[in-house]
Amino acid sequence: MKERSSILLLTKFRKPWNNGHFMAKALEDMGWAAICLDTPSQLNQLSRAIERRPALAIATKADGMTVDMIQEIRSKGIPFVIWYPDPIPPDEHMINMGRSSDFFFTMTQGRIPEYEAAGIEKVAWLSQAFAPSFYSDTPLTPEDMTHYGSQAAFVGNLGTLPQYLARRQMLDKVINAGFQLKWWGPRPSRKLKDLSFLFSKLCRSYGGEFVYHETFSKVARACKIFLSLDSYPDMRLSMSVRIYTAVGCGAFYLCRRVKGIEEVLVPGKEIETFDSHDEMIDKIRYYVKHEEDRIRIAQAGRQRVLAEYTYERRFASMFETLKRAGIMGL
């Protein structure tokens, strides 16, 4: 039997919620053999993986990788691309990786001029995606609704670090407006410096666990409003993977408006957005009371994600871009 053509994935695989598992499953479903190396822990196996002559090598953050490693891959006639999943400003490592790559995909369209100015010649926007098979849609039990249900939910890190301040401020507004909030994520730190947070109303709204896959799906479907706050709203098309995951699971998704978001999911039809805390509270108040509107929007969003924003769709788009660029004939 002829061996399937393979693609080398250089990303995170150590945790079950790492996106590498979603990527590998999509490639396998598309007929590829996925060669999976966790970065940076398995980079000592890179030469052996290259010997299998994959048709393409894809890295995400390229943790632990060097320009020499990229050159080793490309010297064997294997195109190397990066699919960078963060909206943060480019650092020296990613610039060097991008310059050495055959193509650089970013999930933040607004940063493309920065990458081009830094000398990355071939760069394009490619959004993140949803992996439906990892997220159960079995009916919620009464126990699920009691544990995971709430008027408003948030999934992600909070804590006392400065980068989470905007999230804490947003969620404090929700609690102070009288809504039932549950947030889910890493357990709050019990260090002395975090005491003020530990005794706050926000910390007391912690749901009690880090949710992913089935439990993430339960939160998305059990809450009335799924809240999100992307870090760079003025940076065009910089939404995190959370939007595709939550909406794909069936959540009614209310997020801070990101520039260009209507080109991905339409506010008022497939999701809802806000520009200020006051607008957020007004929309929570409206949609908590208007179930039919909330369900209609959530269902339309889910159908759109399942039709257009799966990893299979994203890889098909990636391969088409690489084909047009003359990088490989997939």
Give every CB contact of residue 159 below 8 A, 6+ residues apart in sequence: 186, 188, 189, 194, 197
Q: Residue 1 has what pLDDT? A: 38
Residue whose token pair is 């990892």: 134
Q: How far apart are CA 39 and CA 319, in angstroms?
A: 23
Q: Are 129 and 310 within 8 A, CB to CB?
A: yes
Q: Residue 72 has what pLDDT? A: 96
Q: Residue 330 has what pLDDT? A: 55
Q: Are 256 and 278 within 8 A, CB to CB?
A: no
The low-confidence residues of the chain, meaning pLDDT below 70, are 1-3, 329-330
Q: What is the pTM of this model?
A: 0.94
**What sign does the dihedral 66-67-73-75 (CA atoms) show?**
negative
Of 75, 72, 88, 81, nearest to 120 by C-alpha is: 81
Rg (CA), the chain: 21
Q: Residue 309 has what pLDDT? A: 98
Q: Residue 163 has what pLDDT? A: 79
DSSP string, 55-91: SEEEESS-TT--HHHHHHHHHTT--EEEEE---SPP-
Q: How far apart are CA 28 and CA 282, in angstroms?
A: 45
Q: Residue 187 has what pLDDT? A: 85
